[in-house]
Structure formats: structure tokens, C-alpha cells
Structure 1
């Protein structure tokens, strides 16, 4: 879809009855931002039109009204996270054209990792669990539809058990189909990344085709494992 140069596009996904209730206030907002924002209505029940866009926000199962926006190149996306009232939509649009609206990155709900051998990371916890962690982190980036991801997941779990006594090394995984982060740009799945405690900006890519012993050797090459008293054999 082409967006006019210098314009933003705001999409309203709603069923026809809800949209009728929004139409008058939306027309007022549209007049306010004429020539700056294109307003587009999409029937949320039309899967062929609505679902591809809603999937980009992790909202493909939504049945309630959703308001989103894209910049001119459709490279940045934005989500109205408050109730879609006239005042909230107007404020959303105002921040959009001012450039003060935060780009939206989709995320699953924050999980409970209390008993997890491999920590589950989501978009909302990527900073805390990976970038801001004072530990070395081996991160598995996977998708549910990836053919080889299951084998890699089994390897990561075995490695996590092998290094379970280490106090400075943790293992984690993130579903890239349901979670996004500006510092995680991966297009090849599965991917194994080693984030060293002293350099989180340049993760080391580990080979997913290596054997368990080869992966352990790679980890030991880059990480000084501490307090590893007992471990499972590989």
C-alpha cells in the first residue's frame, strides 16, 4: 500500500456497528489532521484484509476495535493502547505527527520463569533479561514453524542442564514470531546468540549445526564459567 509522501496512515479495525459509532468523531479528527494523516477503515471480520496487519501487532485474534498507524515507509508501526475514544485517537494522532509516539514492538505476556531451566524471554523483558543482565546469556531465537528449531531447543535444554551450576551463565529462548525488539534483528531460524556480560552490543553467533560438545567448547572459549561444581554429561 502506498502512503503519500510526508503522510502517516491510521488504520481503524472494527466491526461495522462499532465503526458507525466512531464515524462522526473520526471525521472530526480526520479534518484536524487533513493532509498529514490518511485514515483507513478495515472490517475486522475480513480476515484477508485485517489479519495480515493485525498479526504485525500480535493482535490477529482481536475482535475489539484496534487503532494502529504506520509511517510513510511502513517501517515503523504504532498502536493506540488506550480505549479508542475521540480524545484518545486525537491525542494519538497528534503525537504521531509530532514524532513523540513510541514505536510499537509486539510482545507475549511476561512469563513465570521461576522453575525454568531455559528462561523464556519476551519482547517486554528483552532489555532486563538480555541487554541489562550482568550475566553471560545464550539466547535461542526460534519460531513455531521452523523445521529445525525443535532439535536446537533440545540441545539448548541439555546445555542448560550441563551448565546449571554456573552462576554467571544463563540460557534463554525467544519466539521471534510473537516478540520483537529493536536490538534483535534475526531472519534465520533457529539462531543461537551468545551475549557476553561485558559486551551486549555484539552478540556472538553460535553454529546451530554443531554437536553438543562443539557448542560447549564454543561457549567455554568465550565465557569463563564460574562455580560449575556438578554438571550433567553431554
Structure 2
């Protein structure tokens, strides 16, 4: 991909870390990063809302070689786009129409959509919402679904292979790996298969670079956090 500049709007350990990882895998450190302080409410400022009207991270600003500028707002779309834009990095199966590529897309989207949704509902109802808005029944429903329906599928794959789509690392692991870490943060994904999986992922230099700031993330918003009252889901 021929580009002039790439800029990532980021907050540690959130979905933007997926994109940061994909960037380190594809363009190295040839990108800019701006931290959006979520607990300070910076995602709701008029300036940031012009970039991302969904008031969330990540946002990826790409200035192409011809001067065109594009804002991408969905983390998994960014990961997929970068993987496709740099085929020499071997983040996708080579064959365009194959069982391997079908499985790759299936697992990338499985992580990006239903798994992410379950984890988000757990986080929202256990930590993000105020006490009068939290619904523990919703959190428990998705915990149960995740642990009884999702985890067995992933464990079966990870007991058979090092990575989610076999023994070769792909961009699907960037999204799935983040989801597994997210699950562990909430007391799930405790099977040894998940620990082994994360051990394989953590051997990649791009992973270590992307998550070097993860220790700055606290899942519990501080008291008086500015997004209170602005959060819409």
C-alpha cells in the first residue's frame, strides 16, 4: 500500500491495540499515535467527534499517496485492511478461494462480532455503567454463553494447533488474541489452551510493542470519570 501517513487514535489495551499490533506487523513503527483519554471524556470532544462520530477508539487516519484521506472506525476492518494491503507480510492465507481462506474469514469475524459483543456486554454491565443502570442478569447471561458455547470451540482449535486457524499466524489471531486477553481479564478463558495460545502470540515482537502500554489500562472507571452521563452503549 502506498501511503503518506498513518495515524492511530488509541487507548491502551482496548480494541485499538488490535490495530496497533497490525500496524507493527505491517508498517513497523512508521505510523503516528495519539492517545484519546477515554476516562477524561476526550472521545466526546467536538474535535474528536469529527474524526469518529461513534465516540470510541480506535480511529485510523490514512493519508494515501495521492493525497486522499480516509478515516476508518472499525478495529477489525482496519486489521483486515492492513493484512490485505501488505500481502508480503503473510497475514492472510495465500489462496484467494480456498478452505483455508474461508476459515480465516470465519474466525476473524467470529472474534470481531459475536465474541466481541459478549465481552462488551459483560464489561458494560460489570464496570462501565452506573449502579442504577447495570443489569447483572445480562452480564451473567453472556458469561454463561461465552464459557459454555464459545470457549469449547476455541479450546478444540487451540488444542490441535498453535494458532486459531492452524499452525500459521494470521490477522485473525490479532483480533482473537485480544478477545482471549479480554476474556482472561474478566475471569474467563482459564483453560491451559488459552495460556499456551497467548504464549505463542507473545513471542511476536509486534505483539510486545502493541501491548507495551497495557499496564496503563484499568477496567474500572475512576470515580467522577467525565464520560459518566455521556456514555450511550
Q: Which has the higher strand share?
A: 1
Larger radius of gyration: 1
Query: TM-score when scaled to structure 1?
Result: 0.27
Please give the TM-score of this superposition, normalised by the length of structure 2.
0.27
**Larger proportion of helix:** 2
